[in-house]
Structure 1
């Protein structure tokens, strides 16, 4: 088993889940006038949901809970809130995944405090029921075991964060590309590297530009030195 279990989510799955979520909302008899995306993960799912539900008004509130891939902050907090009048409006607060529930609860409270809505409900594409303290009103997929779900809109960011975390905790300074890939699979599994290999290479380039990795010549083979 990898140290951090990762599942790669593909675009066709996301569209299918958004369509299913829209159907669940319609069948409930409740209809949102406004969708509030929880930035940043909820942006794309919220836009898809607006399309399937025919909702024109899309707003956002930014809540920070996962500053790096699979690395939770001590406490979720609102980075950017809302200041709009939503009197008489039914509002749906939307995220990509609910794993602890903290972000969704906090965003819902922000909307209720600031905006005087008629009603506020919550939604997500996925819910990890084994870890969450809060289940949203609507969701498309229930997950029982915890994984880090790697969505297309965070592919490069997650890959860079995963590499840095691995390098930091392995406490090794010099790496060949083969050794990096071997250790990456040990940490995160085969699927992520196989499905997002181009992002792996791009993440290495980003880390080189940022000075996190320094390319070196190791007897005709390119090596990377980690650390300052």
Structure 2
């Protein structure tokens, strides 16, 4: 078993989950006037929901909770709040995934406190029920065991974070490609390495060019 379980998510899955989420929202009899995307993971799901639900007003709030892949911040905080008047509006806050739920809950409190909306509801593509302290009003997919879901919009960011996690925890800054790939297999699993191989190579080159790691030739 890998040290960090990783599930790679495709764009096709994102589109299907957003359609399912929209159906659940429509089926509830409730509809939003404005959608608020939680930056940055909520951008794509929120835009897709705008399309499925016929909503044209889209704004964003940035909450920082996972500054590095698979490494949670000590406490979620609002980096960039919503600064618009939403008086009388039904607001739907959207994120890609709810794990602890801290980001979505904080976004809800922030918007209720500053923007005077008529009503605020929350939604996510996925909910990890084993760790969630806050359950959104709507979600498409229930996940029972925690994993790091590698979404397509942060593939290089994940790769950089995963590489640097290996570097920090091993204390080794010089790697050959074969060694690094073997470490990835042990830490993150075969599915991640096979599906994100190109992104791993790109991230290695980027980190080497910045001097964050040193790449060496593998011994024959």
TM-score norm. by structure 2 comes to 0.97
Distance 1:136 1:174 in 2: 44
Query: Aligned-pair distance for 1:173?
Result: 3.6
Query: Aligned-pair distance for 1:176?
Result: 1.6
Query: Aligned-pair distance for 1:208?
Result: 1.2
- Residues 1:127 and 2:155 are matched in the alignment: no
Residue correspondences, number: 220
Could you say what the CA RMSD is over the residues aligned between the two structures, in angstroms?
A: 1.1
Query: Aligned-pair distance for 1:218?
Result: 6.2
User: Which piece of structure 1 moves more, 162-171 or 93-102?
Assistant: 162-171
- What SS is found at the alignment partner of 2:95? strand
Q: How does 1:66-215 map to 2 (within 5 A)?
A: 66-215=66-215
Distance 1:215 1:75 in 2: 35
Deviations 1:82-141 (A, max 9, x none): 111111110000000000000000000111011111100000000000000011000000
- What SS is found at the alignment partner of 1:30? coil
Moved over 3 A (4+): 215-219
Query: Aligned-pair distance for 1:172?
Result: 2.4
Cα distance change, pair 218–126 in 1 and its aligned pair in 2 (3 A): closer
Unpaired runs of at least 5, structure 2: none
Cα distance change, pair 217–127 in 1 and its aligned pair in 2 (3 A): closer
TM-score norm. by structure 1 comes to 0.94
Alignment correspondent of 1:224: none
Distance 1:178 1:218 in 2: 7
